[in-house]
Chains A and B, each alone.
Chain A
Amino acid sequence: MTSAIGFSGVSRHYGDVKAVDNLNLDIAEGEFFAMLGPSGSGKTTSLRLIAGFERPTAGEIRIFGQVAQGIPPYKRNVNTVFQDYALFPHLNVRDNVAYGLMIAGTPKRQRQKSADEALGMVALGGYGDRKPSELSGGQRQRVALARALVNKPKALLLDEPLGALDLKLREQMQEELKTLQRSLGITFIFVTHDQGEALSMADRVAVFNNGQIVQIGAPEDIYYRPKTPFVADFVGSSNVLPPEFMNGLVGKSSYGAVRPEAVRLAEQGQSALVRSVSFLGAATRVTMDIGNVPMTMLMPKGAAVPKAGETVTVDWAAEDLHVMAPA
């Protein structure tokens, strides 16, 4: 497995603000890698460091083995799909896609042919003569994708590319991106704040918080075995159990996590006071308090739902309780 992108001890500080702080990271070639985190967690800055729009204040970035220090964005063999797509408004769709090839000096005929092929790949064949302003959000997104891919980059950087699309389109594009990545075999580095998106698309996910990577691993790892309370809470809103509570439960002073769907009503277990009940369609969410520990339970459709103010007994299977390493 060759390394596509490597960060060693990379920091990007703005004065006192540590946008990215001492980051170590190794992304393999051909990997679909997601950078997940809340806004301001350093994921976009990390992407911009790879693209070359930001310079690290410390540390070293390697792009396919080559030290990136001092190499301007236009000489890096990576391309970016921007959050706002950044399509050139004065050029038509075909010229937008052919822009990189034009700069590279490809003859006009050839680059227009390549551009049309790239547009066909994202199911926009025949849209070449339109202006970006005449396209819908989803179509612009595809043009941005084609414009990056036509240059045959070794790695594609995607900065929240689906953020501006509506839910249905987003799900469709998630599938298409995944398929595209499989068929092209290029490294995709995908920045998102949507954990569902990261978990469903990526081979590996890095969870960012406060400029650092809190956990890095396969989606299942992150989801079922969060290393810190932050990951448990951010990735799929697990119930985080504080050490005092865990001490009484398993005799161990460390954080624990239980997924809401693993919590169920039981004969024996923890007594909980129901605070509120909300109907979500496929399931019903019940929020309650076990003593002073808040707990969320997801009940499948058809189950008898308790009412707010009631006291119920809840439990979960032992294997559903994830015990984190002591902090």
Chain B
Amino acid sequence: MHSDRAPLGLKLAAAFGLAFMHLPILLIFVYAFTTEDKSYQWPPPGFTLKWFAVTWERPDVWEAMQLSLKVASISTVIALVLGTLCAAAVSRTRFFGREVISLLVILPIALPGIITGISLRSAFNLADIPFSFWTIVLGHATFCVVVVYNNAVARFRRVSGSLIEASMDLGANSFQTFRYIILPNISTALLAGGMLAFALSFDEVIVTTFTAGQQQTLPIWMLEELVRPRERPVTNVVAMVVVLVTFLPILGAYYLTRGTDTVAGQGK
């Protein structure tokens, strides 16, 4: 007999899976309010909001936060430009080696971050480029491009080629066609891709450890804080902020790309 209700076992398994994934994160949140600052003690001996004030006063947190925001923003912008251009080339024209290029663009996200990191580090060394803000940005851009590219290429495929021809036919040059026809049709995909890229960059650790000099992005700062036990709950407060900053764009990207499965410009 079929019924729409899931069997009890399945429900339990699903509940367990969700709990397994999300309880540890809740734990992090709880520790942001604990009164004990030397070790993570369960249950917390007491609750306080003072760590938020302490965090607010810490200049190193602000520095790391600013750096992370700057890196994520600039990597995202670079990724938006390069990813869109690349997607346009791959989906609009046919040329020798098109599939290979498509694969090569996607590769950085499949490659373990540590390999990307090591190779970038040795490349920067070889080229005598000092590690700086910009080397971090370059490192992040390698995988941010992929996210934008993937989103854009899917949407480009769904914008029928005759739309562009129709626009040209009606007197619009390439720039006007891009501005009035292509951009409105791919904008949500770009926004979604950009948000994902931002979130990816904001919490990136591995590539950053290899491409950063003395600078500390927020995730790197957190890693360092874990080793040095001093005002531990500050790390948890920062963790909460990171979760919010990365979760909101991903949620946004999800809503933007939902329900856009119909082909834009398909006449029939």
* A residues neighboring B (CB under 8 Å): 51-53, 72-75, 79-80, 82-90, 99-100, 102-104, 132-133, 137, 140, 144, 147-148, 151, 164
Chain A positions within 8 Å of B266 at CB level = 84
Q: How far, in whole Å, are A52 and B168 apart by their CA atoms in the complex?
A: 9
Q: A53-B165, A86-B165, A88-B181 in contact; A140/B267 too (CB < 8 A)?
A: yes
Given A72-B168, A148-B170, A164-B268, 4 extra CB contacts under 8 A: A74-B168, A84-B267, A86-B267, A88-B167
Judge whether A73 and B169 touch: CB under 8 Å.
Answer: yes
The reply to whether B171 and A74 contact each other, CB–CB distance below 8 Å, is yes
Q: Is the CB of A80 within 8 A of B171?
A: no
Q: Give Cα A66 to B184, complex, Å.
A: 35
Between A and B, 6 residue pairs with Cβ closer than 8 Å are A51-B165, A72-B173, A82-B267, A84-B160, A88-B265, A164-B267
B166 touches A90 (CB 8 A): no
| Interface membership of chain B positions 156-184, coded 1 if the CB is closer than 8 angstroms to chain A and 0 otherwise | 00001011011111111100100011001
Nearest 8 pairs of A and B residues by beta carbon: A85-B267, A100-B170, A84-B267, A86-B166, A86-B162, A73-B168, A103-B171, A90-B184
Does B264 make an interface contact (CB < 8 A)? Answer: yes
Most chain B beta carbons < 10 A, residue from A53, A87, A88, A133: A88
Best-buried of B166, B170, B185, B262 by chain A (most CB within 10 Å): B170
B268 interface neighbour in A75, A84, A89, A90, Cβ under 8 Å = A84
Smallest CB–CB gap between A140 and chain B, Å?
6
With A53-B165, A100-B171 in contact, is A89–B176 under 8 Å at CB?
no
Closest to A150 in B: B170
Evaluate contact between A84 and B171: CB separation under 8 angstroms.
Answer: no
Name the distance in Å between A50's Cβ and chain B's nearest Cβ: 11
User: CA A140 – CA B265 in complex, angstroms?
Assistant: 11
Q: Which residues does B use to contact A, with CB under 8 Å?
A: 160, 162-163, 165-173, 176, 180-181, 184-185, 262, 264-268
Q: Which residue of chain A lies nearest to B181 when distances are taken between CB atoms in the complex?
A: A88
Write out the residue numbers on chain B whose beta carbons fall within 8 Å of the beta carbon of A90.
184-185, 264
Residues of B close to A144: CB separation below 8 A: 267
Most buried by A among B162, B166, B172, B265: B166
B165, A82: Cβ atoms closer than 8 Å? yes
The answer to whether A89 touches B185 (Cβ under 8 A) is: yes
With a cutoff of 8 Å between Cβ atoms, the chain B residues found around residue A100 in the complex are: 170-171
Given contacts A82-B165, A90-B185, contact A103 B267 (CB under 8 A): no
A80 CB contacts on chain B under 8 angstroms: 165-166, 169
Chain A residues positioned under 8 Å from B172 (CB to CB): 74, 99, 103
Closest chain A CB from B257 CB (angstroms): 16
B169 and A51 within 8 A (CB): yes
A74 to B164, CA, bound (A): 11
Chain A: CB-nearest residue to B164: A86
> How many angstroms between the C-alpha atoms of A86 and B173 in the bound complex?
17
Which B residues touch A75, using CB under 8 A?
171
In contact, B163 and A88 (Cβ under 8 angstroms): yes
B265 proximity list for chain A (CB < 8 A): 84, 86-89
A79 near B268 with CB under 8 A, answer no
Q: Nearest chain B CB to A124's CB is how many angstroms away? A: 15
B177 to chain A, nearest CB (A): 8
Cβ of B216 to closest chain A Cβ, rounded Å: 43
Residues of chain B within 8 A (CB-CB) of A74 are 168-173
Given A73-B165, A82-B166: A87 in contact with B171 (beta carbons within 8 A): no
Residue of A nearest to B165 (CB): A53
Contact present for B169 and A137 (CB under 8 Å): no
What residues of chain A lie closer than 8 Å to B176, measured between beta carbons? 103
How many angstroms between the C-alpha atoms of A132 and B267 in the bound complex?
A: 8
Residues of chain A with a CB closer than 8 A to B169's CB: 51, 73-74, 79-80, 148
The smallest beta-carbon distance between A316 and chain B, in angstroms, is 42
| A84 adjacent to B162 (CB under 8 Å) | yes
Partner of B267, one of A72, A87, A102: A87
